[in-house]
Amino acid sequence: MSELSNGAQLTPAPQLFRGKLLFWIPWPLLVALDLWSKSAVFGFMAASYPLVPEPYRQHLVFDGALRFELVTWGNTGTIWGLFQNGTVILMILRCCALVGMLWFVRSTARAARFQQVVLSLVFAGAIGNLYDNFVRADRSVRDFLHFSGTWPWTWDFPAFNVADSCITVGAIGLFVLLWRDDRAPKQKPVS
């Protein structure tokens, strides 16, 4: 702290977002990767299957016990296609969540590097999917990665995209952080 000429003390300005490059650097790159990958796959599929309507385009990449195909599916809901009729409400909630994440990043310690990274992942995924909500005519999110398989039983995983992957990995990271903090020994209050 420094002292003014009248003797009053200046308090240092809070650092807010300074020193949090592990939040600020990854998310724009991940949003760019998400939007580019959606555009590239949907463009490839439109050129390869011009007579097939968008929701029915499928391109087999490999098959076997694990099957991977590119698809052009739009999801107007949330995870696993839930809340299909609540797109506008979900968009409002997602925007509020972005503001909440910025507040959370602001209050995150500079030394909490892993927390900055996982928040950046979730932030990137939310922006990537919100972009689709605001830009696409039907407000759907473009999903294009589809996995299914026959081992150890027959299964079919919902289609997803890079933004969904960012949100999932970030959410798992946040869970690990909360679990680790919950398991840490607590200091007993001094009486």
Residue in 34, 164, 181, 182 annotated catalytic: 164
Query: Per the domain annotation, does 91 fall within a domain?
Result: yes
Does 122 fall in a domain?
yes
Rounded CA separation 164/121 (Å): 10
Q: Tell me the C-alpha distance between 98 and 83, whole Å.
A: 20
Q: 122-143: buried (b, 16+ CB within 10 Å) or exposed (e) per residue?
A: bbbbbbbbbbbbeeeeebbbbb
Q: How many distinct structural domains can be found in the chain?
A: 1
Q: From first to last of the 191 residues of the chain, give the pLDDT tens digit.
A: 445 556 556 554 455 678 899 999 999 999 999 999 999 999 999 999 999 999 999 999 999 999 999 999 999 988 777 778 888 998 999 999 999 999 999 999 999 999 999 999 999 999 999 999 999 999 999 999 999 999 999 999 999 999 999 999 999 999 999 898 877 777 766 66
Among 143, 156, 181, 182, the active-site one is: 143
| Dihedral over alpha carbons 10, 16, 19, 24 (to 10 degrees) | -160
Report yes or no on 23 lying in a domain. yes
Domain of residue 41 covers: 17-47+57-182
Asked whether residue 6 is domain-assigned, the answer is no
Q: Does residue 7 lie within any of the structural domains? A: no
Residues forming beta bridges with residue 160, ordered by sequence position: 145
Structural domain contains residue 116? yes
Active site residue 63: no
The whole model's pTM is what?
Answer: 0.85
